[in-house]
Structure 1
């Protein structure tokens, strides 16, 4: 029975370990499939630009994206291989333990069979019982013979079960080894492709260096547009805050005048200035605005994307391209040409701005604002109430690069916050 307990403990530990590995393996496979889909899409786009027989900034951008994703995929494959190596090692240990357990069970069973053979006659069994010194001992001997027969049957079942488990583990080991070989073959292919793409990147960079003046001008134009867009958004938010503050102060003066004997509405005391409300407080003056702010905050990490199909190509912060420094208040999300852009939460259109030929829509959600820029057209107007995922316009396509990129930003008051931690994970 002691060996049976050991066997059950070992089996339980193996099942738990396999469950953990399965979860990790599934996640890594999901990542690998995601990388494959992104690489296929990028490759199609790159082939379209390559057919023009002329290197372009878009070709370089697509190559860089493919190289980055391919490197991430190779790192993910390395993690998968390490995981499979651990599974193979544990499977070998498991097979060794099961084989040892099986050998021991068979040895014990053989001893029982030999004992049963030597005491196979009913006469011997009866003599064993009748040789007892009293009735109680005779009864115990009879029960012993019955239990021995049952134990022998159970041992045969344990041997059969262990043999099945052993075959299952051997099959799992074979499948794991095949899977590892397939993944390693995929990794080799990706490394070869990565090497070729890095050579292509160097060639395109060389070709583009001949057009450096033109490219720098394009980048300056883009930087100027982004800076102007950021400024327009912040100015619109400042106007909203100023208007909300004016209304709050007028309401406070009216309340103070009604409470004072003279009824002077123009009285402003030092105490009033000291108690001036913050931007957050004036934007949350009404119950509706306060609830909207609270609901927006509660959905951090769960907001839908502003496009149904997109990929982040540049995050929030400062970056440099062609020696031109640019600061972004939000994300740049590449999507399909003419793709609809939608609001990520309930709100009201605070402003629609035209910046160098494309539109920016700003939506207010209590003390939070979302901005959707680089739109070719808009389908909403100032003051219009919106519901989550309602369309606000369509994305514009840059004629120089051929890319369709929507710029998405989130502000708390006048301060930008990183949209990536607010959107539902990719």
Structure 2
């Protein structure tokens, strides 16, 4: 029973680190991903700093960077907590192994003393011949054989336990060094965070002095966005009107055919709501269903970047505005990709900004602030297919991305992958 318990214990300590290792590797990947975002934002901020004029995009990028730095510190704290748990577990394991080793050595010493007392063949023969009968003599022979085998097994268990103990001591030492390294990293990141917060305070102070200028910039942006929204609404209305016309034409042809064949006219289908005309064809219905199924799993419209302005209402100083999509800061010249297969609804330039809209059944994705679009109206596109590159403006390389269902604006963050 002691041997079985020991084997079970050794198996448990062998597999226990796997849970820690898996969690630690996930945290490490998350931390590396956050660091890549921070570096990309810093690269854009460095370029923005070369300009004489402070921009809203720069303010938002700095705020996003600070938020990411706080997230990175949170991940580091989780790594430290994981290591504390691992260190505590390994310390307990080392103490248990030391106790098991002492017990095994004690039992082995007792067997050695017994073997010393019965080391010659004469004593063994006397032990066997002293049996009451043949059956007991046979059992004593088997006992001596099994005793020798058990003694060898005990020696092997002692060696195995010592090896395990030494390994656990090495792992414990490694974990302690890793914790020390993480504590230094945490201290460094906290220093960087404090520095960036001071920089943010300076920028916000500068913003308050230039609030009137920012108000004018926001008003200009509103006017520009209103023109883009009108173009989008008109294009979608045209699509709905075309879909309605096709559905009515199909119904007229079906009725004429039935009349020519002297059959009763088919019952008139109930007219769908305006949005449902967009899914009247099997292909459109399939695209809509596919798009909806991939909610929360759609690829990003750029390979790397950070959302510096989210969906919904925003206030900058005294000025307020609504963002109908998300603004993604990315690298200069980054490729813009279709997030799902569909058909290009339009490619247009509105007040100097290239806009591409793609239809996916009753869903639409809109990509703003492109240069040199690589697709044209009516073209079929696949998921992740390049549709152009991001234009770099005074705000940096920022892509404005929207998702709509019919005429309803949806929050893209609920649709693209985390």
Instruction: Name the TM-score, length of structure 1 as normaliser.
Output: 0.90
**Contact conserved, 1:223 with 1:324, CA < 8 A, in 2?**
no
**Contact conserved, 1:312 with 1:331, CA < 8 A, in 2?**
yes
CA drift of 1:173 comes to 0.8
Distance 1:311 1:293, change over 3 A: same
Equivalent in the alignment of 2:120 = 121
Whether 1:319 and 2:318 are equivalent positions in the alignment is no
Shifted more, 117-126 versus 202-211: the winner is 202-211
Equivalent in the alignment of 1:200 = 199
2-structure distance, mates of 1:204, 1:410? 32
Whether 1:415 and 2:414 are equivalent positions in the alignment is no
Shifted more, 116-125 versus 354-363: the winner is 354-363
**Deviation per residue, 1:96-151 (Å, 9 max, x gap):** 11111111111111111111111111111111112223222221111110000000
Distance 1:370 1:52, change over 3 A: closer
Shifted more, 216-225 versus 88-97: the winner is 216-225
Alignment of 1:68-217 (within 5 A): 68-217=67-216
1-structure distance, mates of 2:378, 2:386? 15
2-structure distance, mates of 1:43, 1:407? 20
Equivalent in the alignment of 1:27 = 26
CA drift of 1:161 comes to 0.5
Equivalent in the alignment of 1:296 = 291
| Candidates 382, 385, 389, aligned match of 2:384 | 389
Report the 3-state secondary structure (helix = DSSP H, G, I; strand = E; otherwise coil) of the residue aligned with 1:378. coil
Whether 1:226 and 2:225 are equivalent positions in the alignment is yes
CA drift of 1:382 comes to 1.6
2-structure distance, mates of 1:84, 1:238? 58
Equivalent in the alignment of 1:329 = 324
2-structure distance, mates of 1:318, 1:220? 15
Distance 1:57 1:365, change over 3 A: closer
1-structure distance, mates of 2:223, 2:243? 30
- CA RMSD, Structure 1 to Structure 2 (Å): 2.5
CA drift of 1:192 comes to 1.4
2-structure distance, mates of 1:48, 1:360? 25
**Contact conserved, 2:313 with 2:322, CA < 8 A, in 1?**
yes
Structure 1, unmatched stretches of 5+, are none
Q: Which has the higher contact order (CA 8 A, sep 6+)?
A: 2
2-structure distance, mates of 1:415, 1:54? 36
Distance 1:17 1:325, change over 3 A: farther
1-structure distance, mates of 2:228, 2:168? 61
Distance 1:317 1:10, change over 3 A: farther
**Deviation per residue, 1:6-61 (Å, 9 max, x gap):** 22222333334311111111111112222222223333333344455765545433
2-structure distance, mates of 1:195, 1:30? 24
Shifted more, 302-311 versus 102-111: the winner is 302-311
Report the 3-state secondary structure (helix = DSSP H, G, I; strand = E; otherwise coil) of the residue aligned with 1:336. coil
Report the 3-state secondary structure (helix = DSSP H, G, I; strand = E; otherwise coil) of the residue aligned with 2:142. helix
Whether 1:406 and 2:399 are equivalent positions in the alignment is yes
CA drift of 1:90 comes to 0.8
**Contact conserved, 2:240 with 2:274, CA < 8 A, in 1?**
yes
Equivalent in the alignment of 2:334 = 339
Report the 3-state secondary structure (helix = DSSP H, G, I; strand = E; otherwise coil) of the residue aligned with 2:392. coil
